[in-house]
Amino acid sequence: MAEWYLYMIRVRGGSLYTGIATDVERRFAEHAEGGKKGSKYLRARGPLTLVFQQKIGTRSQALKMECAVKNLSKPVKEQVAKGNLKLDTLTV
Give the model's confidence band at 46: pLDDT under 50 very low, under 70 low, under 90 confident, else very high: confident
Residues with Cβ within 8 Å of 80's Cβ and at least 6 positions away in sequence, in order, are 8, 52, 69, 72, 87
pLDDT, residue 91, reads 67
In this prediction, residue 60 carries a pLDDT of 96
Starting at the edge strand that comes first in sequence, how are the strands of the sheet with 16-21 ordered? 16-21, 4-10, 49-57
30: which residues sit within 8 A by CB, 6+ positions away?
37, 38
Go through the domains of the chain in sequence order and give each one's CATH number. 4-89 (3.40.1440.10)
Calpha distance 73→54 (Å, rounded): 19
Q: How confident is the model at residue 89 (pLDDT cuts 50, 70, 90)?
A: confident
Q: What is the pTM of this model?
A: 0.92
Query: In the predicted model, what is the mean pLDDT of residues 75-92?
Result: 86
How far is C-alpha 43 from the chain's CA centre? 15
